[in-house]
């Protein structure tokens, strides 16, 4: 392999040192700043978790009040930016719109990359994008449906306001269901960070050149879109719809095991977790709560998902390869029940992961060992050779 260690897909290379998130894939353990995800999901809301990831500890009640106030101050986007959506086709995938609109934040806040050595400027960057993401995601949805844009309502909490911007009607008070708000808020918490996954590594690599952080987040959104990563929740729901009936589950399990078939069980398997993804366990419970609240316990899609999970978990192929349901397996079903359209699922993932991306970006730029990321390669192409005489000009 020449001079360099070859590690395709970074299976054994640590790209950085980090104090943010810890995963023990064999145990199925996930900690944010040392706190188990199960406890955070139960006792904290998404803004507590965002504060924790950013500042290293959970906020005191005064810190929480200030943080919530600051986030509310930043929820609106520049009116000029709202016009930016008009340039997209209405049938564009909302993740494509997100790549463009979030990238365009860098055109509105040019100073963001210059201020990265100033902690105050870094806080403003973080608060600004965390506050604006629900607005940006909701506008992408409203634009795709030709619905009027809804301004943020700062009398509502972070997640309730997001639901208002998604589903509200002008001049009518939107009253979100607290069970649904809690479920969505927990989905945000579960997606807030996940150490050096593909999109976070993309953000770090893009940021390592000193690029504008919003442009880096846009790069992260592009990476998240793929079905092997954040796009799996959308792909999982499409797969369930294609399977259609419990009676067809064995056929699809067979396909997933077939080496000559590219079909994979979406929402199954993980690079790091070789045990249950702890987020999937929480998501399964949320799924039960939401379906019960909405009277959808007998929802055929949910029954199908449970049957698929049951058969896969008993199958030797999945047992031997340690393939368990991941976070995306149930998140799509919950979101569908809430009324979020399939193509928006990954945008919601991006909304939440923006917290992790920004915090990881900051950790990188503040790292005294920080260098531009510049992987090397193992060259396997042609050796040096000359252009043939027949190709040379007379």
323 lies in the site for ligand CMC, by CB under 6 A = yes
Report, in Å, the least distance between residue 49 CB and ligand CMC.
18
284 lies in the site for ligand CMC, by CB under 6 A = no
356 lies in the site for ligand CMC, by CB under 6 A = no
28 lies in the site for ligand CMC, by CB under 6 A = no
Is residue 328 part of the annotated active site? The answer reads yes
Sheet holding 21-24, edge to edge: 21-24, 29-32, 35-36
Distance, first Cα to last Cα, the chain: 41
327 lies in the site for ligand CMC, by CB under 6 A = yes
64 lies in the site for ligand CMC, by CB under 6 A = no
36 phi and psi angles, rounded to 5 deg: -65, 140
Is residue 367 part of the annotated active site? The answer reads no
256 lies in the site for ligand CMC, by CB under 6 A = yes
234 lies in the site for ligand CMC, by CB under 6 A = no
Calpha distance 185→338 (Å, rounded): 12
* Cα Rg, the chain, nearest whole Å: 22
Instruction: Pick the stretch among 16-24, 113-121, 168-176, 263-271 that binds ligand CMC (CB under 6 A).
Output: 263-271
274 lies in the site for ligand CMC, by CB under 6 A = no
Three-state secondary structure call for residue 280:
helix
Instruction: Pick the stretch among 285-293, 303-311, 320-328, 359-367 that binds ligand CMC (CB under 6 A).
Output: 320-328
Q: Is 144 in contact with 154 (CB distance < 8 Å)? A: no
254 lies in the site for ligand CMC, by CB under 6 A = no
DSSP of 291-360, one letter per residue?
A: HHHTT-TT-HHHHHHHHHHHHHHHSHHHHHTT--B-HHHHHHHHHHHHT--GGGHHHHHHHHHHHHHHHH
Report, in Å, the least distance between residue 243 CB and ligand CMC.
13
Calpha distance 318→122 (Å, rounded): 44
Calpha distance 253→25 (Å, rounded): 24
# residues contacting ligand CMC (CB under 6 A)? 20
Annotated active-site residue in 191, 194, 270, 277: 270
Query: What residues are labeled active site?
Result: 270, 328
Residues near ligand CMC (CB under 6 A): 9, 197, 228-230, 232, 256, 264-271, 321, 323, 326-328
């Amino acid at each position: 392999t020449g001079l360099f260690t070859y590690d395709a897909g970074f299976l054994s290379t640590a790209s950085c040192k980090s104090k943010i998130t810890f995963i023990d894939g064999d145990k199925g353990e996930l900690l944010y700043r040392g706190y188990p995800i199960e406890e955070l999901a139960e006792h904290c809301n998404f803004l507590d978790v965002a504060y924790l990831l950013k500042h290293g500890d959970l906020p005191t009640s005064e810190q929480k009040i200030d943080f919530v106030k600051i986030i509310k101050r930043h929820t609106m986007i520049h009116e000029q930016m709202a016009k930016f959506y008009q340039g997209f086709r209405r049938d564009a995938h909302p993740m494509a719109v997100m790549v463009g609109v979030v990238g365009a934040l860098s055109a509105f806040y040019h100073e963001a990359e210059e201020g990265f050595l100033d902690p105050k400027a870094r806080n403003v960057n973080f608060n600004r994008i965390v506050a604006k993401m629900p607005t940006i995601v909701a506008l992408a949805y409203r634009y795709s449906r030709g619905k009027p844009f809804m301004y943020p309502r700062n009398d509502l909490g972070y997640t309730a306001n997001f639901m208002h911007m998604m589903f509200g009607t002008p001049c009518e008070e939107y009253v979100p269901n607290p069970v649904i708000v809690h479920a969505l808020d927990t989905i945000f918490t579960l997606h807030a960070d996940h150490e050096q996954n593909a999109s976070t590594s993309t953000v770090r690599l893009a940021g390592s050149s000193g690029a504008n952080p919003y442009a880096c987040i846009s790069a992260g959104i592009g990476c998240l879109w793929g079905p092997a990563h954040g796009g799996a929740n959308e792909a999982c729901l499409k797969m369930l719809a294609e399977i259609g009936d419990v009676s067809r589950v064995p056929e699809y399990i067979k396909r997933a095991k077939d080496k000559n078939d590219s079909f994979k069980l979406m929402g199954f398997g993980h690079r790091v977790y070789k045990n249950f993804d702890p987020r999937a366990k929480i998501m399964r419970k949320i799924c039960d709560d939401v379906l019960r609240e909405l009277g959808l316990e007998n929802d055929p899609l949910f029954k199908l998902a449970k049957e698929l999970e049951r058969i896969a978990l008993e199958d030797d192929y999945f047992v031997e390869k340690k393939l368990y349901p991941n976070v995306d397996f149930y998140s799509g079903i919950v979101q569908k029940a809430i009324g979020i359209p399939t193509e928006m699922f990954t945008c919601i993932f991006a909304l939440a992961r923006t917290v992790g991306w920004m915090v990881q970006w900051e950790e990188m730029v503040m790292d005294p060992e920080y260098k531009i990321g510049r992987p090397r390669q193992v060259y396997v192409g042609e050796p040096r050779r000359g252009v043939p005489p027949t190709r040379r000009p007379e």
